[in-house]
Amino acid sequence: MDKRILIGVSEKERLETLDSSADKIEEFSYTKPFTPEQILVFKDKLSTTMIEFNAIEEELKEIKDDYKLKMDPLKAETKELLKNIKNKAEFVKEKCYLMIEGNEAGYYNADGELVYTRPLLPGERQKTIFSVQREGTND
């Protein structure tokens, strides 16, 4: 069969000839290729659309960056607060006072709370004649 028929005939004549010559007329689905002109129109529309899309995407990125700057400190604070709630304590480095009683050494913070105890080290076991028995007061 020929690829194309009735090429040199007007559209009206072609339709009449096809209508009268066909054995049967029915609805049929197929892929119809685009003309080169249609493809050029699509390419032009695509480039315009991509330029608009890129501009909107850049605008969105700027908005996201602004919100990220606002959210980052809150996120860090939230993380710290959750850690504090989970651990129920915090790690600090502060001035502590070592007190030796018997065979134990105890570290007290500025509030007078015992924060850590350990056995005496060998160098801490030696008593001197200047050792004063501590009772918590200077009476």
The Cα-based distances of 93 to 34, 74, 77, 98 in angstroms read 76, 26, 21, 15
Distance separating alpha carbons of residues 71 and 77, to the nearest angstrom: 10
46-82, pLDDT tens digit by residue? 999 999 999 999 999 999 999 999 999 999 999 999 9
62 and 111 assigned to the same domain: no
What are the pLDDT digits (tens) for 73-111? 999 999 999 999 999 988 889 999 999 888 899 999 998
Indicate if 83 and 100 belong to the same structural domain.
Answer: no
Contact 107, 98 (CB under 8 A): yes
Which residue range is the domain that position 49 belongs to?
Answer: 31-89
pTM above 0.75, yes or no: no
Verify that 35 and 85 share a domain, yes or no. yes
Residue 139 forms part of a structural domain: no
Asked whether residue 18 is assigned to any structural domain, the reply reads: no
With a CB cutoff of 8 Å and minimum separation 6, the contacts of 115 are: 96, 107, 108, 109
